[in-house]
Structure 1
Amino acid sequence: MAAKTMKSRMPLREAYEAGQLARDVQMAPGSRSLTLSDLLLVEDDGPGARALSLAWPTTWETVAGGRQARKVLHVARPEALGATLVFNGNPARGESEPLKIAVNGHVLTYRDPYGDGDTGVWHHVPVSAQWLRKGRNDIVFSCDGPGGWWLSIAPHREIVLNAPERKAVAGSRSELSVDHGRTWGRGLGPDAEQAGEYMVRLSVRQYRKQGELIGPVIDLGATDAESDGASVAGSVRVRSLAVRATGKKPSGTSVQLHVRTGSSPLYDDASWGPWRACRGGRATPSRADHRFAQWRVTLSTGNPKASPEVTGVEVQARVEPALPAWAKGIRLTDGHNESVRYTSIPFEYERFDLPQLKSLRRKFKLDRVIAGAKDELEAIRRLRHWVATRWDWAPPGHPYPLWDAHDILGRKDGMCVHFAIALMQCALAVGLQARFTFGGFQHATVGGKHQGGHEVTEVWSNQFGKWVYMDATSTRDECFLDRRTGVPLSMLEFHDETMRLYLGTRPAPLEGVRAKAEKRSPRLRVWSKDNARPTEGPAPVRLRWGPVYWMSRNNFYARRRPEPIAQGRVHWCWPGYRVWWDAQTPRKPWFDHHTCRRSDLEWTINQVRFAAEYSDEPGVVTLRLSTVTPDFETFLVSIDGGPWTAVGDSVPWRLGPGGNRIEMRVRNRAGVLGNTSWLELEWGA
């Protein structure tokens, strides 16, 4: 067959979402360009951070009169587009004098903009980027008032527990003076004997040195390069391959392109070749018979204030397809090929075979809890309701509960965070992937009442092919469904509806949101407790799901630390969370890991992506199966409605005259099945 030219120019926003990885790059909300990430957090308190709380044992510094606090932050590259100083604390009750802050000798005054008496909140103060120095930067806090201000302290022991690699420097960058700054010592706190770091951070607006976007896999054998792949192709020989990026490269910046090729529809080490640099826009496939290709664009800068901009990537291939004569008698009658969405978060999954999960399943008879459920959603709801009815919400006493359902379920106290952890690990115990997520404005009021935050669980639903929001707190015990489709919402979808209800299209200020009354959504239905069906009326939506956050792992049995200190008991301080931002939701300058890429938070698992290819033998179609399945056990196929059979990643499918159907799915090591891809062909043999 004659060679043909195949072009792929997916809109960059689509490629950004459909690609395999976006590391240290961003497509900011509303932007049409890919740039380097432009926000960097400088901190050394994070691993041991726990905010000031009068209701919970903590440590803090009083800054008043002759007592001054000095924080040293080290900045590698002081050139910046802007900077924000953030600190955790609050004025002492009744204190009216401002806090004085000296940044490398430049003095500014700061007054509490909140004034609601809340303790241990994050304050943010813009500072001139010109004040920053390479290396050591001194920030000194003082107050002339009698009560002064309180600054939170991250204890040295907890910093080192969560980040042993910081042992050499932990506690060496915070100092206290009791004589108006004439002398300084490292002993902190009321007795000047505590070791730790003041919770003071610097958010610097500057571009990362380097980042990369790995685009989606391109099928060079498809008649339509952007089809979903539910088709059959012949083998191909790649004669030439060219890749071109469009955009801007300011002075001191660069863009490099690489390509790799392979024989499977998703990347894996065994069937794909290495990255090869594009020279003059040309690339060489690892093998001429590789049907699939993928590009990588790498952005670099030597100037922290400038980034290259990429507006598009185009792939053009000259391929020679080979279609056997018998394939002319084939007609595609139906097909569904799952598309895989990748996260850039290096999420760490718990293994299903861990003794703690097996013990949890056995000890609490979780199989009985879900026995008889008519579908997976009912099983998840039963599990949620079971957790929600183990105890009544109550602030826990000492010691604070571990990230361990055994510990939590053995107590009779706990808050939303503990219900969420228990549900996450109970779901894992029965083979369902789950993750911990939470949200809340730092300051939000409804009818004058402070709203606070809330922690919940998301469970991966094989039934719906998405993450679904589940609140196992005893006072809630609910999930939310789209009224039209009946599909449960994810956390990010719930965030979208919360912002629409309370803000319309307006952006939310960092200082928080005030509403006169709680809103209800006619678009949603709430399904509470063990009710047989969802409530018919509009669902109540609390003002909590503006800023939303995710833990980047669920493997707290395999590896306890690092973990947030007293999660849920005090304001969120740990910098390891993954934080969502969009046009309405600003980035939080006290956190580091922000993303505006939906796939980073709504990635898919437990699905089969296949590639079907005619073989030379008449009546045989070869299927290459790929998946992203945590704790994967095997692929399964069913032919023409027959039994499910375990197979490898390459399946020879022998067709018979007339209609033929093959279904494909995965099974994880806990025995849970993923959803199904399928292909139907009619052969007029």
Structure 2
Amino acid sequence: MEWVRSCWEPGEPQIPYSWDALDILNKARNGERMYCVQYVLLFVQSANALGIPARYLGLFNCQGEGVHAVSEAWSNDFKKWVFIDVLNRSYFQDQKGVPLSAIELRDRIFNKQKIKIIGEIKDKESYYRMFRNLVYCFRNDYLEQENSWIFHPQFSVLYFDKNACPLKRFPLITDDKNDLEFPVNHINIIPYQLIKRKYLLGKEQFYLILKIERSFIIPPYDIEVKIDKSRWRKVSDDSFEIKLKKGINRIFARIDNKSGQKLLAGRLSMDFSPP
């Protein structure tokens, strides 16, 4: 966030504007001063390029006018989306110090719950009034120039609850937080089949086939697994086999996102007693 915010000082909103982060950077190097939208676009595309899932959000008033551009990034440490306001160098926490998502922040605003501000929000009451309508932009084409000021309805989703206003320009709505706060960089390790093999002298050994369920992992990436304190090994398929020992077997899975990050994404512990 800090690197993006330091690329230029804020200017006036530009209509229309480029969605291309490289174009935005070139304009900044030429001395142009842009606004919240360009900060968000550069932040989101830079984070995604590093393998950190991030997305663009818009705050709209009840007349359907955009009042601010913000973002969310996925935190692998907290296993959740975290709201980030690049222009104001800000994010928000609950009373336990856990960073808030956009929906969590909005809920706390309307429910008048405590919010800890980390950043440069000077007038929090005016700031909080912008959160009437929260629109998620799931656009993945950052190069198109035509009508670039407009949130295209086919990839924009309005979070609609009792505090939101109906906005005709956004026909796609949801009141289900799970539609918008889905987990990413997550792996489920699922026991699938127990196998018994016999060897010479009648010795028996048990093996377990495990399946992998992936959730929204940004490519390119490899999945690596290990058992207990063994070495990590790559898994090429959606299943793998382990040799079971009596007692506790601990299985770990992580994501190597090819950008220098190895993210622990799943784990499973099993207490095995041979039948």
Fold conserved between structures, TM > 0.5 = yes
1:478 aligns with 2:99: no
What whole-Å deviation, never above 9, does each CA across 1:657-677 have from its counterpart, x for those lacking one? 333211123333445344432
Please state how far the C-alpha of 1:614 moved relative to its aligned partner.
4.3
Partner Cα distance (1:658, 1:543) in 2: 56
Match of 1:605 among 184, 205, 215: 184
SS in 2 for 1:619: strand
Partner Cα distance (1:480, 1:437) in 2: 16
Please state how far the C-alpha of 1:562 moved relative to its aligned partner.
7.4
Partner Cα distance (1:563, 1:478) in 2: 31
RMSD: 2.7
Partner Cα distance (1:634, 1:662) in 2: 17
SS in 2 for 1:543: helix
Asked if 1 retains the 8 angstrom alpha-carbon contact of 2:19 and 2:144, the reply is no
Partner Cα distance (1:430, 1:633) in 2: 12
Match of 2:148 among 518, 542, 565: 565
RCO (CA 8 Å, sep 6+): is it higher in 1 or 2?
Answer: 1
What residue number does 2:153 align with?
575
What residue number does 1:385 align with?
2
What residue number does 2:105 align with?
494
Distance 1:489 1:563, change over 3 A: farther
- Within 5 A, what are the aligned runs for 1:455-604? 455-473=69-87, 476-484=88-96, 486-501=97-112, 523-528=114-119, 542-556=128-142, 560-561=143-144, 564-566=147-149, 574-576=152-154, 577-604=156-183
Q: Could you list the runs of 5+ residues in structure 2 that have no partner in the other structure?
A: 197-204
SS in 1 for 2:52: coil
SS in 2 for 1:587: coil
SS in 2 for 1:542: helix
Please state how far the C-alpha of 1:606 moved relative to its aligned partner.
1.3
What residue number does 1:656 align with?
245
Partner Cα distance (2:140, 2:118) in 1: 26
Partner Cα distance (1:563, 1:636) in 2: 42
Aligned pair count reads 256
Distance 1:658 1:575, change over 3 A: closer
1:420 aligns with 2:9: no
Distance 1:656 1:581, change over 3 A: same
Asked if 2 retains the 8 angstrom alpha-carbon contact of 1:633 and 1:666, the reply is yes
What whole-Å deviation, never above 9, does each CA across 1:276-296 have from its counterpart, x for those lacking one? xxxxxxxxxxxxxxxxxxxxx
* Percentage of identical aligned residues: 26
SS in 1 for 2:162: coil
Specify the structure having the higher radius of gyration (Cα).
Answer: 1
Asked if 2 retains the 8 angstrom alpha-carbon contact of 1:621 and 1:652, the reply is yes
Partner Cα distance (2:138, 2:22) in 1: 21
What whole-Å deviation, never above 9, does each CA across 1:219-273 have from its counterpart, x for those lacking one? xxxxxxxxxxxxxxxxxxxxxxxxxxxxxxxxxxxxxxxxxxxxxxxxxxxxxxx
Match of 2:221 among 633, 636, 659: 633
Please state how far the C-alpha of 1:564 moved relative to its aligned partner.
4.5
Match of 2:261 among 647, 661, 672: 672
When normalised by structure 1's length, the TM-score is 0.35
Partner Cα distance (1:500, 1:459) in 2: 24
Please state how far the C-alpha of 1:459 moved relative to its aligned partner.
1.0
Distance 1:452 1:607, change over 3 A: closer
Please state how far the C-alpha of 1:684 moved relative to its aligned partner.
4.4
Asked if 2 retains the 8 angstrom alpha-carbon contact of 1:436 and 1:554, the reply is no
Amino acid in the other structure paired with 2:76 = N
What residue number does 1:297 align with?
none
- Within 5 A, what are the aligned runs for 1:330-369? none
Amino acid in the other structure paired with 2:44 = M
Distance 1:599 1:662, change over 3 A: same
Please state how far the C-alpha of 1:642 moved relative to its aligned partner.
2.6
Partner Cα distance (1:589, 1:490) in 2: 25
What residue number does 2:18 align with?
402
Distance 1:545 1:564, change over 3 A: farther
Partner Cα distance (2:66, 2:47) in 1: 27
- Within 5 A, what are the aligned runs for 1:294-333? none
SS in 2 for 1:453: strand
- Within 5 A, what are the aligned runs for 1:260-279? none
Asked if 1 retains the 8 angstrom alpha-carbon contact of 2:47 and 2:54, the reply is yes
Q: Compare the two structures and name the one with the higher helix fraction.
A: 2
Partner Cα distance (1:564, 1:669) in 2: 34
Amino acid in the other structure paired with 1:524 = I
SS in 2 for 1:602: coil
Asked if 2 retains the 8 angstrom alpha-carbon contact of 1:432 and 1:672, the reply is no
Asked if 1 retains the 8 angstrom alpha-carbon contact of 2:48 and 2:54, the reply is yes
SS in 2 for 1:625: strand
Partner Cα distance (1:580, 1:633) in 2: 31
Distance 1:500 1:642, change over 3 A: same
What whole-Å deviation, never above 9, does each CA across 1:449-505 have from its counterpart, x for those lacking one? xx97110111122222221111111xx101111122x2211111122122223xxxx
Distance 1:433 1:452, change over 3 A: closer
What residue number does 1:192 align with?
none
